[in-house]
Amino acid sequence: MNTQTSPSPQFYLTAAAPCPYLPDELERKVFTHMVGPRATEMNDLLTQGGFRRSQNIAYRPACEACRACVSVRVLVKEFQASRAFRRVDAANRDLVSTVFPAQPSTEQFSLFRRYLDARHQQGGMSDMSALDYAIMVEDSHVQTRIIEYRLRSPGDGVSAQPRGELVAVALSDLMSDGLSMVYSFYNPEMEKRSLGTMMVLDHIRRAQALGLPHVYLGYWVRGSQKMDYKTRFQPQEHLMNQGWMRFSADMEE
């Protein structure tokens, strides 16, 4: 398939395939390649228009009979941590986070495999190799970075590289209007820490510190329990036919 840059992006449509989130549904996606000097600009515009990035591809659902997938972004400036979120922060005070260029490591891949084997054995990523993981991290033409979360160890703050156990990793894009959480994974044995929630809260704080208004969480899938956590981060907006609209979890009741 031709991936050369052109004045206007070329869009393609995938064949129908079983939906990974809703039983008895079929999914199709529209996608384009993001390469070349305009990739960062395209990533901003497409993400704001409901696309997600995977490597150098931007995609969004184009299902014929279903509209369950909805793009979600947190309104960072108005966000206030609830009591439950403050408990998550307290449980993870012993973690140290460090931002790196988007470069994979053997340690990251080991944690990634543990996460997939425990949480997504039947998913489309279940058979990913070390090379596949490296491509997922490195194949980006936009401002992407890796955030590692480690248990604090003696000497942290003295050396540039924390040495404690790696417990969570986030792959994130820096955009003109926010941070986009591309993919995250964590130690599945540390359920009491709520590491997935911790990483979203950390991204909200980072966006606040940068003066950026949004954290993009990807798709909330109406009817999929595994995606319900995304509506907990209030206030937030959902991308509807009319544009980005404010959403409250109470609207689902």
118 and 35 within one domain: no
111 and 136 within one domain: yes
126 and 217 within one domain: yes
- Which strands, in side-by-side order, build the sheet including 69-75? 95-101, 144-151, 166-175, 178-186, 214-221, 69-75, 236-240, 243-247
- Let me know the angle formed at the C-alpha of 44 by 72 and 233, rounded to the nearest 5 degrees: 20
In a domain, 129, yes or no: yes
187 and 85 within one domain: yes
In a domain, 5, yes or no: no
Residue 194 pLDDT > 90: yes
pTM, entire model:
0.90
110 and 46 within one domain: no
Question: If pLDDT is split at 50, 70 and 90, which confidence band does 136 have?
Answer: very high
207 and 115 within one domain: yes
* Radius of gyration over every alpha carbon of the chain, rounded to an integer in angstroms: 18
Question: If pLDDT is split at 50, 70 and 90, which confidence band does 7 have?
Answer: low
In a domain, 196, yes or no: yes
Partners of 58 in the β-ladder: 32, 53
In a domain, 149, yes or no: yes
175 and 161 within one domain: yes
Residue range 73-125, pLDDT digits in tens: 999 999 999 999 999 999 999 999 999 999 999 999 999 999 998 876 555 67
Question: If pLDDT is split at 50, 70 and 90, which confidence band does 169 have?
Answer: very high
In a domain, 146, yes or no: yes
Question: If pLDDT is split at 50, 70 and 90, which confidence band does 253 have?
Answer: very low
210 and 123 within one domain: yes
Mean pLDDT across the chain: 90
38 and 143 within one domain: no
What whole-number distance in Å separates Cα of residue 165 and Cα of residue 61?
37
149 and 26 within one domain: no
In a domain, 43, yes or no: yes
In a domain, 203, yes or no: yes
CATH number at residue 178: 3.40.630.30
Percent of the chain with pLDDT over 90: 75
Residue range 13-70, pLDDT digits in tens: 999 999 888 888 999 999 999 988 899 999 999 999 999 999 999 999 999 889 999 9
Average pLDDT, stretch 162-175? 94
80 and 54 within one domain: no
In a domain, 184, yes or no: yes
Domain finish residue from 69, 85, 107? 69
- Print the domain residue range for 45: 12-69
* Domains of the chain: total: 2
137 and 110 within one domain: yes
Q: Which two tokens stand for residue 11?
A: 């869009």
Partners of 127 in the β-ladder: none
Domain finish residue from 31, 52, 69? 69
